Chain A
């Protein structure tokens, strides 16, 4: 059971380049989310999805796009990378379950470390 798989693990981009960070889970989880982790700021929610075809914005969505065409995959797109997007990105998933999604534990990937020059 692979859990939550993020690719790539490391990436260096130049300002203005585009890129897609991949996230896949094999647990049939409905809820998936993307966070960025910056020193001294903890994790901040970028976008989330509660099922295929359903996405919504989190705390820091600007500069990022997402889509959810399948239950398994939740890619994060940077359309025009900026140095301020240098960060470690985490994807997480959980079952939606009954009632609030918070009743179910989130499973995190190992992260993608992204540097933008």
Chain B
């Protein structure tokens, strides 16, 4: 069955430190890949997406993600975290040939001043 795994439920980093959030997917082919961010009490906002081509994609707010086919991974990175990045982050896949998205369980990021 298709699935998206975010192994880290919570991550705490200091402001200015680098960040990497992990995402692995299970699907027979390469799906469409997404990262969303959710601030408290709000809906989700798209950070970036990967469909094909260059495996390193740039997104908004200084985030980037790298697709690794051999590892079925799509990890999110940021070189220097800001306090305003504290939020919950969701990895998601879109299943080609369907209209269905599958979301991971989320990683909650805490940023220490």
Q: Do A105 and B94 touch (CB < 8 A)?
A: no
Q: Do A40 and B43 touch (CB < 8 A)?
A: no
B window 71-85: CB within 8 A of A: none
Q: Do B99 and A109 touch (CB < 8 A)?
A: no
Q: Do B105 and A105 touch (CB < 8 A)?
A: no
- Which of A42, A105, A106 is within 8 Å of B104, CB to CB? A42
Decide: A90 near B44, CB < 8 A? Known: A59-B100, A101-B99. Answer: yes
> Is residue A111 within 8 Å, beta carbon to beta carbon, of the partner chain?
yes
The segment from B12-20, B45-53, B61-69 found at the interface with A is B45-53
Q: Do A40 and B44 touch (CB < 8 A)?
A: no
> Is residue B90 within 8 Å, beta carbon to beta carbon, of the partner chain?
yes
For the complex, count residues of B whose C-beta is within 8 A of A. 25
Distance A111 CA – B92 CA, assembled complex (angstroms): 18
**A contact residues around B49 at 8 Å (CB):** 102, 105
A-B pairs with beta carbons under 8 A, tally: 62
Q: Do B43 and A110 touch (CB < 8 A)?
A: yes
Q: How far is the CB of B40 from chain A (nearest CB, A)?
A: 11
For the complex, count residues of A whose C-beta is within 8 A of B. 27
**A contact residues around B99 at 8 Å (CB):** 31, 33, 48, 50, 56, 101
- Which of B32, B42, B43, B90 is within 8 Å of A102, CB to CB? B32
Identify 12 residue pairs between A and B in the complex whose beta-carbon atoms are under 8 Å apart, listed by A's number: A33-B99, A40-B9, A44-B103, A48-B99, A90-B43, A92-B43, A100-B32, A102-B32, A106-B101, A108-B44, A108-B45, A109-B43
A: residues with CB less than 8 A from B are: 4, 31, 33, 35, 40-45, 48, 50, 56, 58-59, 90, 92, 100-103, 105-106, 108-111
